Chain A
Amino acid sequence: MKLSLNWMKDYVAFPDDLDLKQLAYDLTMSTVEVEDVRPLAESFDKLIVGVIQEVLPHPNADKLRICKTDIGGEIKEIVCGGSNLAEGMRVAVACPGAVVRWHGEGEPVVIKNAKLRGVESFGMICASSEIGLADLFPAKEEAEITDLSAFDVPAGTPLADALDLNDIILEIDNKSMTNRPDLWGHYGIAREIAALYHLPLKEIKKFDASGIPAMKVEVQDFERCPRYIGAEIENLSVKPSPWQMRNRIWKVGMRPINALVDITNYVMLATGQPTHAFDADHIKGNIVVRRAADKEELLLLNDKKLELTSDDLVIADTESAVGLAGVMGGSKDSVLPETNKVILEVANFNAAGIRRTALRYENRTEASARYEKAIDPERCDQALSMAIELFKEIYPEMEIKAFSDSYPEKLVQQEIDVPVSWLEHRLGKEFSQDTLTEVLGRLGFATEFHEDIMHVTVPTWRSTGDISIKDDIMEEVARMYGYENFDGEKITTSFTGAVNQLEIDLERKIKEYLAFRCGMQEIFTYPWMEDQYIQAVLGSTEGMLAISTPPSPTEKYIRSSLLPNLVKAVAGNLRYYSEFSVFEGARVFFDRNYTSRYDQSEQLPEQRKHIGGAFAGDYKNISSLFRQAKGVLENMARYTHMEALSFRQEEKPVWADAVVWLNIFRGDVKVGDFALLSKKAALESGIKNSAVLLFELDAELLKPFTSRTNEFTHLPEYPMMDYDLSMLVEDSVKWDEIRDVILSKKKQGSLLQSVSFVEEYKGKQVPEGKKSVTVRLVIGSLEKTLTSSEIESCAEGVTKVLRKKLGAELRSK
């Protein structure tokens, strides 16, 4: 919301030495967030009023003229293409250095002296759109320049002075005052400033309607329309409103139209209370405020045709609806060029109803925005009296023919008891009764004290929900006192026990393990997935939950697996990197197992925390990529201190390659999968030449140990020998078999201590159908240093059994 400082001065007398920065700061700290404070004249720098002395033809261009223009003591030649140039005309001249927009479009441009078709031009004569004044001076045709002849000022007068634009505009963040219906107008903010600075606030006197004949108004639904004031006013006409009214309306962001419409907008901007004027000649019979009939039609002022529901409140005459109450007038009753009498409406409507209607038809207006904040019905008095004053001022011959005020149930002012001791305890400060009375009094609250109880009567403008409990009063006291002025007591604690959260810690350990030890990069992706990747990776959306208003039509489903988005992330990053690994920890969702986990009345779907990862690399290096990825998973449990994981093939994941896949288990519980992304899934995801290994773990099935799980064993007293054996075996022989066969030789007291995999090799020197496997034996004794023949004989035993069981041929040792 924009506010004009000059306008607010109508209601509160600012001190001469008002510091604007301080005002913005104080309002921000105590009332609403001021986003900007800007002297309006800044935008009109170097723009002045010039008087055209002579209009001469341009020697080189038919459409251009040379205007000899008085810019205040000096005559300058300005080249201009305006269609309405005339001698004696006052025009807006942009002197060199002024900022304009060509034809009101594009980026602002700084004016310089320039030659136009060979003729030197001093600055330019402006059209209203070029200097941001199109709404104030609407042009009738494109090439029209702004005629300022109506402003009787000498040539050279700065434009801002001539048009009375020397004002300060405050821009308030609307979000910061959604809870304060009283602030949505100049008077409301002025009242707040008066309270902050101890300044007197001008009172708006109530309109005295005595003696005016009654007007017939039928309000059928007082719940939705607690108050309706109608006034039939005659002897009017459609004409422009006075300059000051136009310029104020424009300065705060609305468009002046004509005096009848401007009065209603002006009153709304001043008081925050919307008002409306109906053309009285178009109202058949009398005004009726009623619910719409189902499917009743209404053509709005903006030519939108609505089919209404019975939840909508309309203003109608005895024939049909003429306006959508509190939202927008209908086209039938609107102010027309020939309008000469109006019915002025100043009404109060129920906030929730207005909101529903405005949303239903996506037709939010300045009026509906204010109504839906819950305006107090007492404010109608202010708006009415201000409107009538303005009608009188602009139409001295006007007459109020009839009047009515339907207000059966007066607003009840909130009354709240606040124990002073409670207030002091919560705020950490002591307050005297006088201080409280004074501070709250400035805001319009009345106080009475009975021992410890402060009885507070809330002003009408804060009684529609804003202030309803004692904590609200506490806030009022605190903000008037200044939040900055409370220091706060240090918070004390008592020991109960150390924070011990194993699952939370495990998740962090896993993430740190993957990031820091395994060199993987953590990523975040959205919970919704693109259909393309669901199809590619999972093949179906079965069992997935969907969003009813999704971010995009192809991102409806929310994840039941981390993999589609991981694959998408891999595909995206393959544009810049050929080898990398990423992981993500996030929740996945299933349309199943609805249970009440927190609250009996609430059924939530299954949601599990998963951890997934992806390793991307060249297909040629699949073996090493596989070993890298598997190593990450195999060692995870040891480094993060949780129960061990094991790997075997039980059920191939749908997205996995036919050969390279494993299920991951903790004991007998399947906790996840690890596999190469199938060629089909990769291609459908736009991944052509890279191998992608993926894993996904259900983090909730992992079991953290309660503490670190290291074990100490004595360092060997006698040397342990590493003994490498390379052997040829059939391609089909698996490492698991080799290991098991070797370990079958590791018996109680044997010299073989352990065995590990070194490498696997295929290629030259290895016959077709075979592979070379190198293993490392650790041979040693706990009792003595072995002789070389003892070591050899141990190794011999191993090679023998390998030959016997697996047909392994020794290549080297």
Chain B
Amino acid sequence: MKEKLEALLREGREKILAAANETNLQEVKASLLGKQGSLTEIMKEMPKLDKSERPEIGRIVNEIKGRLTALIEQQREELVLKASEIPADFDVTVPGTAPSGGGLHPITQMCYDLNDAFRSLGFEIYEEEDITSELYAFDKLNFPPNHPARESMDTYWLAGHDTGATNEKLCLRPHLTGGSVRYMQTHKPPYRFVYPGRVYRNETTDARHERAFFQYEALIVDKNIDFASGKIMLQSVLSKVFGREVPVRMRIGFFPFVEPGFEIDMGCLVCGGKGCSVCKNVGWIEIMPGGTPHPNVLRAAGLNPDEFTGFYVNIGLDRLVMMRYGVDDVRLFHSADLRFLQQFK
């Protein structure tokens, strides 16, 4: 009898743990503890026992009943926890449906990243029209009257507006800087603004040259800015945009509208400065001209250059994006080719 009971407990436990669902478990419960269940069957043999054995066996029966009931409850909880109405072979490796596939142009993305960084430093965003006069494209920027950039082989002059005095000649802006002078003329110093926009050059295009491309100017003008302060500003902005420390170096460069002028390089992010094909093995990428606004430019804006000074940079957005992603053909930016544009989220 005792052996039978122990065997029942052993088998009962196995059956309970093997029950795969609630219905199953109910059947197991009935087969063990129900009116026609195994335990009831065994108990029917009780009267055949010697009287002295009965209390002991009775205790064991109760214990087994308790343990089986507890096991069944335990298993029921387990089953509820694991329960699913979905067939087990449901394929969870099937890919999800993509959200609507639109996006901003990678140049716009870079521009907005820079806007956010500069705005966090209190910069305003300035914008202006694309057609300007020679006066603001060149004269106000200290370009000498015979500077090569003024020629039609470099600048897109408008038909019917390509002769005459410099205030009458109109062109698609060859750079943004003329607009910065206008900003300064119409606002009170100190200045702190960025100026994104598209500029145009009459060029033969290839993978590295475009007729329309994007610049991003930043200008601070104030009384107490020394000539290297801009480096800190630039470093912090680029580090924010790229999400890591970006080394920046300034070296000699000549641009009519700055004095002193810099070429500003940033450490190549593709190779980390070790040298690769993107940076032509130099470890640095020329990313923008910069410098202190030339006294003639400040004068053109109506400021006294002995009182005011500043820091100016003109970031080449196309080059920055190309470098960031390893894009090897600048013409892709104006291709309107979705196969290219949809790569940038």
Contacts and interface: CB of A to CB of B under 8 A. Distances in A.
B170 A605 contact: yes
A565 B192 CA distance: 35
B339 A428 contact: no
Interface string B166-208: 0110101000000000100110000010000010101000000
B296 to A, nearest CB: 9
Interface string A461-480: 00001000101101100110
B226 A488 contact: yes
B29 interface: no
Interface in B67-118: 99-105, 107-108, 112
A520 B102 contact: yes
A604 interface: yes
Interface string B148-163: 1001110011111010
B240 interface: no
B212 A527 contact: yes
Given A515-B102, A598-B186, A602-B167, A28 B172 contact: no
Interface in A509-529: 511-512, 514-527
Interface stretch (B5-13, B14-22, B39-47, B120-128): B120-128
B212 A526 contact: yes
Given A499-B124, A607-B131, A483 B336 contact: no
A37 to B, nearest CB: 11
A478 B227 contact: yes
Q: How large is the interface on A (under 10, 10 to 19, 20 to 34, 35 or more residues)?
A: 35 or more
A223 to B, nearest CB: 14
B316 interface: no
B314 interface: no
Interface in A540-595: 545-551, 556, 558, 565, 568-569, 572-573, 576-577, 580-582, 586-587, 589
Contacts of B127: 504
Contacts of B99: 519
B131 A519 contact: no
A31 B252 contact: yes
A330 B107 CA distance: 51
Given A524-B334, A604-B133, A487 B228 contact: yes
A788 interface: no
A676 B228 CA distance: 56
Interface string B210-233: 011000000010101111111111
A717 interface: no
Interface of A is mostly: mixed
B345 to A, nearest CB: 10
Interface string B242-256: 000000011111100
A525 B334 contact: yes
B338 A524 contact: no
Q: Which of A28, A30, A499, A576 counts the most chain B CB atoms within 10 A?
A: A499
B168 to A, nearest CB: 7
B322 interface: no
A598 B225 contact: no
A425 B226 contact: yes
B50 interface: no
Contacts of A573: 336-338
Contacts of B341: 521-523
A569 B333 CA distance: 13
Interface stretch (B30-38, B54-62, B258-266): B258-266
A587 B229 contact: no
B129 interface: yes
B342 interface: yes
B260 A471 contact: yes
Contacts of B227: 426-428, 474, 478, 486, 488
A522 B105 contact: yes
Contacts of A603: 133, 167-168
B333 A491 contact: no
A581 B102 contact: yes
A549 B153 contact: yes
Contact of A580 (B144, B182, B338): B338
A426 B226 contact: yes
A484 B172 CA distance: 36
A751 B132 CA distance: 61
Nearest to B192: A493
Given A30-B251, A33-B263, A549 B156 contact: yes
A239 interface: no
Contact of A427 (B121, B168, B226, B339): B226
B172 A558 contact: yes
B260 A478 contact: yes
B146 interface: yes
B295 interface: yes
Contact of B254 (A176, A519, A546): A176
Q: Which of A474, A517, A556, A604 counts the most chain B CB atoms within 10 A?
A: A604
21 contacts: A427-B228, A428-B227, A471-B305, A479-B252, A489-B228, A499-B122, A499-B125, A501-B124, A523-B336, A523-B338, A524-B198, A524-B333, A525-B334, A526-B334, A527-B198, A527-B200, A546-B158, A549-B202, A586-B198, A587-B129, A605-B131
By Cβ-Cβ distance, the 8 closest A-B pairs, closest first, are: A519-B100, A428-B226, A488-B228, A475-B260, A486-B228, A569-B336, A523-B336, A519-B102
Interface of A: 28-33, 176-180, 351-352, 355-356, 359, 422, 425-428, 465, 469, 471-472, 474-475, 478-479, 483-484, 486-493, 499, 501, 504, 508, 511-512, 514-527, 545-551, 556, 558, 565, 568-569, 572-573, 576-577, 580-582, 586-587, 589, 597-599, 601-605, 607
Given A465-B144, A486-B227, A522-B103, 7 more contacts: A176-B253, A427-B228, A469-B295, A471-B292, A524-B336, A548-B160, A572-B336
